[in-house]
Structure 1
Amino acid sequence: MTITASKPFTVRTALDEHGLKGEFVRKDASWRNWVSRAPGAKFAPEKGRYHLYVAHACPWAHRTVLVRALKGLEDVISITIVHPTWQRTRPEEDEHAGWVFGDPNGKPLRNKDGNGGPFPPAYPDNEPDPFCGAKNIRGIYEKAGDTDGKYSVPILWDKKLHTIVSNESSEIIRMLNSEFNEFAKYKDLDLYPEHLRDAIDAVNDWVYPTINNGVYRCGFAKTQSAYDAAITELTESFDRIDQILQNQRYIAGDEFTEADVRLFVTLLRFDEVYVVYFKTNTRMVTYTPSILNYLREIYQMPGVKATINMEQIKAHYYTSHPQLNIYSVVPRGNDFTKLLELPHDRDLISKKRKLQE
């Protein structure tokens, strides 16, 4: 797709991606380059060369922040966190609303009319764009010459070549896992080990469409039949996860892997957001002991808690989609993260399996 003066491409968000039957159909990411240690690679791993643009709220972005922390790459790859509440990005041109940067005080940068409502609150870690001077994520894509029109996070940005490397989270986390090991504090951690790759890929193949993307298929469905199909698959997969975790410490085996990272970021948001906002109320993590205990173990791993900001997670979902929540009222909830502070006993699963072998 090319941009022309007479026929510009159409900007969009995930809310605009639907099939003929009202079902949510997420389009593939458009930027799919790789950071590689291979000789002569265009995007070679270097300390300080790359930057992540992320949102606390977005589970896809959270994957990358989580792996960055688990691998100890905070001093290698810099980061900017955008404001959780979407704003109009070019109100003089179109209706698009999306991620915006903060000003020096953490207030969202927005155009004159914003969303037409009260000014969203400031968050201290929502900062200005440090490289392009953009007001919003749309500006980053435009700086890179994007022709796709979906301005999503995460973005892995190359400071040297001034362009986007990738906006596909599943591929970014694999780059972070393997390509920056010479700079990583925890280089021995391998989230995609050779001996478990088939198992990891098999889990990802059903968890992604029915759980990770399944919650969006429920929440963004425009017809009852589309919702019914999505919630049925989600419920079956939730129960499948429950059964697996009753007998296995992690979702793809006895080792913590990228499959757990991908599952964790969705389940973390499940009770506080998806059950209410996306109508996934056939199940709850709070009332599923094996899954709650599993989340506790991951939440309590070094570095994980610091990547989580439930206030901004809830602020984004409940205040960014007027067509889904016109008054932007944020439900109070039960402070789900407090449940994750309680002790877990997931190590007993491993001991039990060893006794059985």
Structure 2
Amino acid sequence: MATEQPQTRSEFSTKGAYVHSGEEFTRDTNYIEDRITRDGTFPPGSPAPDGALAWPVEAGRYRLVAARACPWANRTVIVRRLLGLEDAISLGLPGPTHDVRSWTFDLDPDGRDPVLGIERLQEAYFRRFPDYPRGITVPAIVEEASGAVVTNNYPQITLDFSSEWSAFHRDGAPDLYPDALRDEIDEVNARVFTEVNNGVYRCGFAGSQASYDRAYARLWDAMDWLEDRLMGQRYLVGDTITEADVRLFTTLARFDPVYHGHFKCNRNRLTEMPALWAYARDLFQTPGFGDTIDFVQIKQHYYIVHEDINPTKIVPAGPDLANWLTPHGREALGGRPFGDGSPPGPPPAGERIAAGHNPLYPGDRA
């Protein structure tokens, strides 16, 4: 796959979309709160938010649109892989760059998603909500027949993959959100989201020195907490992989290639934190995690799209990523990666990472 990307047309530039002078970065966390549930109703104890709909689980009805570059979308791809939902929910893959309007399917033939037939994800949002006022985000689940977006509520999407789509899980699928651990998983996830997943963005998109300094301190307080936590246990919660590990991993995979320099999160590289670095490699080398990571697309997205902080759009050549395959030694802490289950098989042929974009797939340097 060529690494050159078309330049964003100036009238649709992202300049000014991310950094606002003098302001702290605040993420808009209002999403389309529709859910896809096993019987098409909101579960007991989960009342429907105002205006939200419940859609029924149905194999072949929905398409997950998830750019490989995006950490929030990457979560959904990993969970879909781990649970074996590839045959039940198709996958659309936008390219790594976009302009202020929308993600585009520029990697597909004729620049159109082969199932939805659209050039921009924006079209699926506008088909459902003609005046949709918020950002056109991935991941998004789109109904294939109507071509209309169903939901982009990424924290709920992965939880529903685990709980509502169980009839279509593969044999040996892990329990990523076990009942006995949900309170602890939710507690860990809350801190990881505010301080780490979103914390790196608060550093990168800070509009003042003071807001950057606050974000930087909070990020590294949380990273030190994670380092201490993972010194004595293999996974974040319990002795198996859970939703908490998925959510942290996608940030760690991007840390040295992007967040350390591009977002100025540069107290340490991930490779300089022994427990976190070994933990990240352990997951990367686990089927379903590393085989979803496209380092080339990740770097292209951040360095080309974020004109506010990289106006030249130059994509750095480094770092060398071969070290993701070095031994991690985390087996010594015990743990059972998939519990009583088993690892997923290889990715479907059409969903494999391009050679050279990931050290698991040798070729040109990633």
TM bucket by the smaller chain?
0.7 to 0.9
Is the counterpart of residue 71 in structure 1 residue 83 in structure 2?
A: yes
Instruction: Indicate conservation of the 8 Å contact 2:102/2:120, yes or no.
Output: yes
Contact 2:185 2:237 in 1 (8 A): yes
Q: Structure 1: how far apart are the matches of 2:40 and 2:199? A: 39
Residue in 2 that maps onto 1:27: 28
Is 1:263 equivalent to 2:248 in the alignment?
A: yes
**SS at the partner of 1:280?**
coil
Cα separation, partners in 2 of 1:97 and 1:335, compared to 1, 3 Å: farther
Partner of 2:104: 100
SS of corresponding position for 1:35? strand
The answer to whether structure 1 residue 345 and structure 2 residue 329 are counterparts is yes
* Separation of aligned partners in 1, 2:164 and 2:105: 29
Cα deviation, 1:279-317, whole Å, max 9, x if unaligned, reads 000122111111111111111112322211100000110
Measure how far apart 1:187 and its partner are.
Answer: 5.7
Q: 1:101·1:135 contact (CA, 8 Å) conserved in 2?
A: yes
Q: Which residue is 2:139 aligned to?
A: 154
TM-score, normalising length: structure 1: 0.81
Distance 1:140 1:14 in 2: 24
Contact 1:144 1:164 in 2 (8 A): yes
Aligned to 1:194: 179
Classify the secondary structure of the residue corresponding to 1:51. Answer: strand
Letter in 2 for 1:290: A
CA deviations over 1:184-235 (Å, ceiling 9, x no partner): 2146411110111111011011110110000000000111111011000001
| Partner Cα separation in structure 1 for residue 254 and residue 153 of structure 2 | 20
1:117-266 pair list within 5 angstroms: 128-145=112-129, 147-160=132-145, 162-186=147-171, 188-266=173-251
Question: Structure 1 pair 156/186, CA: closer, same or farther in 2 (3 Å)?
Answer: farther
Superposed, which structure 2 residues align to 1:49-88 within 5 Å? 49-87=61-99
Question: 2-side partners of 1:14 and 1:45: how far apart?
Answer: 40
What residue identity is the alignment partner of 1:232? Answer: A
CA drift of 1:342 comes to: 1.6
Give, in whole Å, the separation in 2 of the partners of 1:78 and 1:12: 31
Taking the aligned partners of 2:172 and 2:165, their CA distance within structure 1 comes to 8
Larger mean Cα displacement after TM superposition, 177-186 or 238-247: 177-186
TM-aligned CA deviation for residue 343 of structure 1: 1.9
- 2:38 equivalent to 1:37: yes
Task: State the AA in 1 paired with 2:106.
Answer: G
Q: Which amino acid aligns with 2:37?
A: S
Given that residues 18 and 306 in structure 2 are in contact (C-alpha distance below 8 angstroms), is that contact kept between their aligned partners in structure 1?
no
SS of the equivalent of 1:23 reads coil
Say if 2:52 is the partner of 1:48. Answer: no
In structure 2, the gaps of 5 or more residues are 1-11, 43-53, 336-366
Q: Which residue of 2 aligns with 1:118?
A: none
The answer for unaligned runs of 5 or more in structure 1 is: 1-10, 88-95, 110-127, 352-357
Residue 260 of structure 1 and its aligned partner are, at CA, apart by: 0.4
Distance 2:15 2:34 in 1: 22
- 1:312–1:186: structure 2 CA closer, same or farther, 3 Å change rule? farther
Segment drifting more, 261-270 vs 290-299: 290-299
Contact 1:152 1:167 in 2 (8 A): yes
In structure 2, the partner of 1:304 is 289
CA offsets per residue over residues 123-157 of structure 1, 9 Å max, x none? xxxxx223543221222211121522311110011
Q: Do the aligned partners of residues 234 and 281 (structure 1) sit closer, same or farther apart at CA in structure 2, a change above 3 Å counting?
A: same
3-state SS, counterpart of residue 86 of structure 1: coil
On the 8 A contact 2:231/2:275 being kept in 1, the answer is yes
> In structure 2, how many angstroms separate the alpha carbons of the residues matched to 1:309 and 1:192?
26
Counterpart amino acid of 1:100? T
Tell me which amino acid in the other structure corresponds to 1:348: A
| Conserved? CA contact 2:101–2:136, under 8 Å | no
Cα pair 1:181 1:187 within 8 Å, conserved? no
SS for the counterpart of 1:276 is coil
Which secondary structure does the structure 1 equivalent of 2:102 belong to? Answer: strand
The CA deviation at 1:104 is 4.3
Q: Which residue is equivalent to 1:115?
A: none
Query: Counterpart amino acid of 1:72?
Result: G
Worse overlay, 177-186 or 210-219: 177-186
How many percent identity over aligned positions? 39
C-alpha separation between the residues in 1 aligned to 2:263 and 2:137? 20
In 2, Cα distance between equivalents of 1:32 and 1:252: 27
Q: Is the 8 A contact 1:15 1:220 kept in 2?
A: no
Deviation of residue 254 (structure 1)?
2.0
Q: Does 1:335 align with 2:320?
A: yes
Quick one: which amino acid aligns to residue 178 of structure 1? S
